[in-house]
Amino acid sequence: NAGVTQTPKFRILKIGQSMTLQCTQDMNHNYMYWYRQDPGMGLKLIYYSVGAGITDKGEVPNGYNVSRSTTEDFPLRLELAAPSQTSVYFCASLGSSYNSPLHFGNGTRLTVT
């Protein structure tokens, strides 16, 4: 059981470049989330999805976009990378009930220079 899989693990981007962070889960979870983690700041919610075709903004959505064409996949798109987007990005999914824990991927460490 793979759980939540994120790719790539590491990436270095130049300012202005674009990229897509991939996230796939094989647990048939409806809820999926993208968080960014910065030192001393905890996890900030970027976007989330309650099911295929439905997405919504979280606390820090500027500079990012998402799509949810299938239940399994929830990619995060950076269109014009900026140094402020240097961070560790985590994708997570939620089981069938609200008292279930989040299932996390291992993260993508992104550096923008």
| Pairing relationship of beta strands 102-104 and 87-94 according to DSSP bridges | antiparallel
- Whole-number minimum distance, CB 15 to another protein, in Å? 26
- Whole-number minimum distance, CB 80 to another protein, in Å? 27
Instruction: Please classify residue 113 by burial: count the beta carbons closer than 10 Å to its beta carbon, then call 0-12 exposed, 13-18 middle and 19+ buried.
Output: exposed
Candidate residues 21, 29, 90, 93; the one interacting with another protein per rule CB under 8 A: 90
Candidate residues 1, 2, 40, 62; the one interacting with another protein per rule CB under 8 A: 40
Dihedral of alpha carbons 8, 10, 12, 13, sign: positive
Q: Which is nearer to another protein, 62 or 99 (CB)?
A: 99
Residue 86 as a binder of another protein (CB under 8 A): the answer is no
Residue 4 as a binder of another protein (CB under 8 A): the answer is yes
- Whole-number minimum distance, CB 74 to another protein, in Å? 14
Q: At 69, phi and psi to the nearest 5?
A: -85, -25
Here's the x/- map for another protein, 14-33, by CB under 8 A: it reads as -----------------x-x
Instruction: Please classify residue 6 by burial: count the beta carbons closer than 10 Å to its beta carbon, then call 0-12 exposed, 13-18 middle and 19+ buried.
Output: buried
- Count of residues in contact with another protein, rule CB under 8 A: 24
Which of helix, strand or coil describes residue 65? strand
